[in-house]
Amino acid sequence: MSQPLNKSTHPGHSPETFFRGKSHAELASEFNEDEARVSWHDGALWWIRQKRDKITKQIPEWEELREAASQIKSHLLSNLHDYLVQFESNLQKNGITVHWAANAEEHNNIVYSILKAKGITQMVKSKSMLTEECHLNEFLEERGISVVNSDLGEYIQQIDHEPPSHVVLPCIHKRKEEIGELFHEHLGTEKGLSDPTLLTRAARKHLREVFLTRRGALTGVNFAVAETGEFVVCTNEGNADMGAHLSEVHIASMGLEKLIPKKEHLSVFLRVLARSAIGTPITIYSSHYRKPRPGQEMHVILVDAGRSRQLGRVDFRDSLKCIKCGSCMNTCPVYRKGGGLSYHNTITGPIGAILAPNLDMKRHADLPFASTLCGSCSNVCPVKINIHDQLYKWRQVIVKEGYAPKSKAVAMRAMAETLSSPGFYQTAGKLGRWFLKNLPFALNNKWNPWFRHRDMPSPPPQSFSEWYSKNKGGNKK
C-alpha cells in the first residue's frame, strides 16, 4: 500500500492510531490509488470464490448441509445459557480451567495473570480473531510479555504493524515483493527474494525456533462441543498444534458463540468450513483438545465482549452464527475492490459490517453502507446468515439513532422531502434535467462523490409525467 496508513514503530497497533478515524470510503479510496494492486486483489479473491463453487458442487447435499449448519446454530443460540453451563462443567471434568470474561480488558487481564503466575514472558499465538479484537498483543507487550503470531499471514501482518485484512487470508492485500522486503528486514533473507516457497521456508525456520522456546501458547477456537467439553482448532499450517503441544500452558480464547451442542454436529461444520473458506475438502488439521497433556495446564476463556448484547438484537442475532470462513469477503465486490483494511474493524467484509456496529455504532456507522446489497454474501454463507438483509436493517437503525454519515443524512433528508411533495418533485426533476443538459459540470465535479468512476446519462427531453399529460388527450381520441 502506498503508505496510506499510520504504521507505528511499536510492535502493536491500536485502531485509533492505525486508522486515525478515517471512514471506509476514505480508506478504500487510498487502497484504490494502486490500480494494479486492486485488480490483482480482486482477481485473487474471485479465484478463491470459484474454487469454493467448484468443490461445493461436488456435494449433492450441499444446500441441506448449509441448512443443517444454520439450524444447529439457531438451536444453540436459543439455548445458549444451558449449553454454556454444560460446556463449563464438562471442561472442568476434563481438567481444564474455565474463565469468564465480560469484555476485552477482562480477557486480557486473565491471560496476563495466567502467564505471570508461571513466570512466562514470551508467548506464541495461533490465529485468533478474538484476541485481535481484544488487542491482546499490545496489552501484553506493555506489560513485558512478547507475543509472536505463528500463522504465516498473521506473522507477516504483525512484523508490518498492520492488523489482518481478512479472517482467513490475513495478508491477501500484500504482494510477494513487499513480503520479501519485510523478510529481508526481519529474517535476513536475501534482498529482492520474493519466491513464495523460499520465503515460507525462511519463516518456517524462524518460527520453529519460536515454537521450541515458548512455554506459553494461546490458540483460538473454531468449535467448542458442549456435550464433551472439548474444543476444535482448525489450521492448514499446523501452527496451533506446534505451539500447544510444546507448551507448559495452553490458553484457548473463544467467543460464546463458538459453542455447538453435540459432537456429531462437527461432521456438518467440518464439511462446510474449508470448502466455503478456500475451496478445499477440509482444513489439513482439525485438532480436538479435550484434556491437558500430563504436566500441562490448559485454560479456556469464555468471552462475551458484546455477544450477549447482539443476542438480544432480534434483527442481528443471527450474525452470531458466523464460523469465520471468509466466503462473504471473497465474493463481495466492495471488499474485493476496496480491501479489507478499509473496514477499520478486526472482522472485515460484509460479516464485519454487521458485527461492528454492535461494538461501536458511532465509529462503525459507515460500514453497513459499504455494500451494494447485491446479496452474494448471503448466498455463499455456509450457515445462511442473511447478511445483506442485516446490512440494510443496520442502515435504518444507524439513521434513526442519528449516526448516519453526514453526507448520507443530508441527502436522505432531501430525498424524503422531495419524494413526499409532488410539486417539489416535479420542479426538482425539471431542474435536474436542465442542469444535466446545460451545465453538466455543476453536478459532475469533484465535490459530488456520485461521479467518481461514473458518467451521467444524457437527460431525457421530458419527464414521464410531462410526456403523459401531453399524450393522454391524444390517446383518448
Partner 1 sequence: MNMTSREKILSEVLKNQPAAVPMPDISAFKGPAQDNVQEYMDTFVGIGGKVFAVDDIDSIKILIKEQFDTSLRMATTLTELADMLEMYSPQADPHSYENLELAVIKAHLAVAENGAVWLTESVMGQRIIPFICQHLAVIVDSSAIVPTMHEAYKKIGFGDYGFGVFIGGPSKTADIEQALVMGAHGPITMTVFILKEKI
Q: Which is nearer to partner 1, 317 or 395 (CB)?
A: 317
What does the block give as the cell for 47? Answer: 479465484
Asked if 289 and 252 count as a contact pair (C-beta separation under 8 A), the reply is yes
Residues between 297 and 326 that touch partner 1 (CB under 8 A) = 302, 304, 308-309, 311-312, 314, 317
For residues 325 and 387, what is the distance between their CA atoms, to the nearest angstrom? 14
Task: Work out how close the CB of 196 gets to partner 1 at its nearest, in angstroms, rounded to a whole number.
Answer: 4
Q: Which is nearer to partner 1, 122 or 236 (CB)?
A: 236
Q: For partner 1, which residue of 7, 161, 293, 393 counts as binding (CB under 8 A)?
A: 293
x/- letters, 321..350, toward partner 1 (CB under 8 A): ------------------------------
Number of residues that bind partner 1 (CB under 8 A): 93
Residues between 63 and 82 that touch partner 1 (CB under 8 A) = 64-65, 67-68, 71-72, 74-75, 77-81
Q: What angle do CA 28, 34, 348 make, to 5 degrees?
A: 30
For residues 139 and 146, what is the distance between their CA atoms, to the nearest angstrom? 10
Asked if 433 and 460 count as a contact pair (C-beta separation under 8 A), the reply is yes
Task: Work out how close the CB of 407 gets to partner 1 at its nearest, in angstroms, rounded to a whole number.
Answer: 34
Task: Work out how close the CB of 27 gets to partner 1 at its nearest, in angstroms, rounded to a whole number.
Answer: 22
Q: Is 123 in the site for partner 1 (CB under 8 A)?
A: no
Task: Work out how close the CB of 446 gets to partner 1 at its nearest, in angstroms, rounded to a whole number.
Answer: 34
Q: Which is nearer to partner 1, 293 or 408 (CB)?
A: 293
Angle between helices 176-187 and 196-213 (to 10 degrees): 40
- The 3-state secondary structure of 72-116, one letter per residue: HHHHHHHCHHHHHHHHHHHHHHCCCEEEEECCHHHHHHHHHHHHH
Q: CB-side exposure of 225: number of CA atoms within 13 Å?
A: 20
Residues between 369 and 408 that touch partner 1 (CB under 8 A) = none
Task: Work out how close the CB of 1 gets to partner 1 at its nearest, in angstroms, rounded to a whole number.
Answer: 15
Task: Work out how close the CB of 8 gets to partner 1 at its nearest, in angstroms, rounded to a whole number.
Answer: 23
Asked if 139 and 252 count as a contact pair (C-beta separation under 8 A), the reply is no
Candidates 31-39, 114-122, 279-287, 371-379: pick the segment binding partner 1 (CB under 8 A): 279-287
Q: Which is nearer to partner 1, 36 or 314 (CB)?
A: 314
Q: Is 102 in the site for partner 1 (CB under 8 A)?
A: yes
x/- letters, 4..43, toward partner 1 (CB under 8 A): ----------------------------------------
Q: For partner 1, which residue of 282, 416, 419, 431 counts as binding (CB under 8 A)?
A: 282
x/- letters, 203..242, toward partner 1 (CB under 8 A): -x--xx--xx---------------x-------xxxx-xx
In one letter, which amino acid is 24?
H
Q: Which residue has the cell 496510506?
A: 4
Task: Work out how close the CB of 472 gets to partner 1 at its nearest, in angstroms, rounded to a whole number.
Answer: 53
Q: Which is nearer to partner 1, 357 or 429 (CB)?
A: 357
For residues 350 and 338, what is the distance between their CA atoms, to the nearest angstrom? 12
Say if residue 345 is exposed, middle or buried (CB neighbours under 10 Å; 0-12, 13-18, 19+): buried
Between strands 216-219 and 285-289, the pairing is unpaired
Say if residue 281 is exposed, middle or buried (CB neighbours under 10 Å; 0-12, 13-18, 19+): exposed
